[in-house]
Amino acid sequence: MTQTLAPAVRARLLAPNIWYVGTVCLDGAPQVSPMWVDLEGEGKLAFNTSVGRVKEENLRNDPRVYLSHVDAADPYDRVQISGVVSRFVEGEEAHERMDRMAHKYLGCERYPWIMPGERRVAVIVRPVKVRHIVGVERFRPGGPVPAP
């Protein structure tokens, strides 16, 4: 089931914020990268990578992905999104999507750091669990009980 994105979470995704994107390596270890992220339609997310990068290989093997963003003004105001890859977009469309992200994040017309022969891949993610936490996170039910 796709998780609905609250207005505050949507605002963070629409702004040029850096998100940390975690994937699972073949040996089960986590791999985390700072990424540009955007909304895809009403309820999905998108980021862009290249064929042959670790995160691309990880996501083709295991579609689970975890995104995290912390407000620069308040590190205790954070958004955590667990999701699964719903599709990969390749070819010219992936390059066009990267250019749109460059416009959002850098204000330029084209992504300036494309390498010769590089093949971009847009990764579309369906959110499964979205959490917006401000302050100290509460214990789960059954966890320690605060002293009176």
Q: How far apart are CA 139 and CA 142, in angstroms?
A: 8
Beta-ladder partners of 77: 134
Show pLDDT as tens, one digit a residue, over the chain (148 residues).
Answer: 567 899 999 999 999 999 999 999 999 999 999 999 999 987 899 999 999 999 999 999 999 999 999 999 999 999 999 999 999 999 999 999 999 999 999 999 999 999 999 999 999 999 999 999 988 777 777 777 766 6
| Nearby residues of 86 by Cβ (< 8 Å), 6 or more positions away | 44, 124, 125, 126
- What is the 8-class DSSP label of residue 26? T
The predicted model scores a pTM of 0.89
> Superfamily for 7-134?
Electron Transport, Fmn-binding Protein; Chain A (2.30.110.10)
Beta-ladder partners of 35: 19
